[in-house]
Amino acid sequence: MSTRIWFRDYDLDALQQRQAGTLGAFLGIVFTAIGDDALEATMPVDARTRQPLGIMHGGASAALAEGLASAASNLCLDLERFYAVGLSLEIHHLRQVREGLVRARATPLHLGRRTHLWSIAVTGEDGRPVSDARLTTMILARDAPQT
């Protein structure tokens, strides 16, 4: 049985609206599910996300992974006091995708006071792995001086 990790209850529509005007919105990333310990999204493989060879660009896959896990990390925090930012992304591209949707699921491996570590699995419409990623986020206090 999974443990609920979110700071409070969240609505997918509100989460999607927060993405307006960002890279995620431009790429067509849509949050599709929030479980007790996972956040999921889809992204189309189209002209916005393909590279010149006609396959999904690795950078688009990385943007999906980092955007999803960063959003999930922030959902675990009291956003009036803290926020999470990406610190390190490691991604392995496993299979080409030429069209359709890819699906991503972010689950936590570690939720500490100063860092979070997320596992992000990206799959094709057929359920086969496309990319596997790890994102470390750094937790910052809202009142801390920024350098």
What pLDDT does 143 receive? 86
Active site residues: 66
Q: What is the mean pLDDT of each run of 10 residues along the chain (147 residues)?
A: 87 94 97 97 98 97 98 97 98 98 98 98 98 98 76
| Residue 54 within a domain | yes
Measured in Å, how far apart are the chain's first and last C-alpha atoms?
Answer: 41
Q: Which residues contact 145 (CB under 8 A, 6 or more apart)?
A: none
Kindly report the CATH number assigned to the domain that includes residue 93. Answer: 3.10.129.10
| Residue 147 within a domain | no
| Residue 91 within a domain | yes
- Counting the structural domains of the chain, the total is 1
Among residues 113, 79, 115, 70, the alpha carbon closest in space to that of 7 is found at 79
Torsions phi, psi for 16 (to 5 deg): -65, -40
The domain containing residue 118 runs over which residues? 12-141
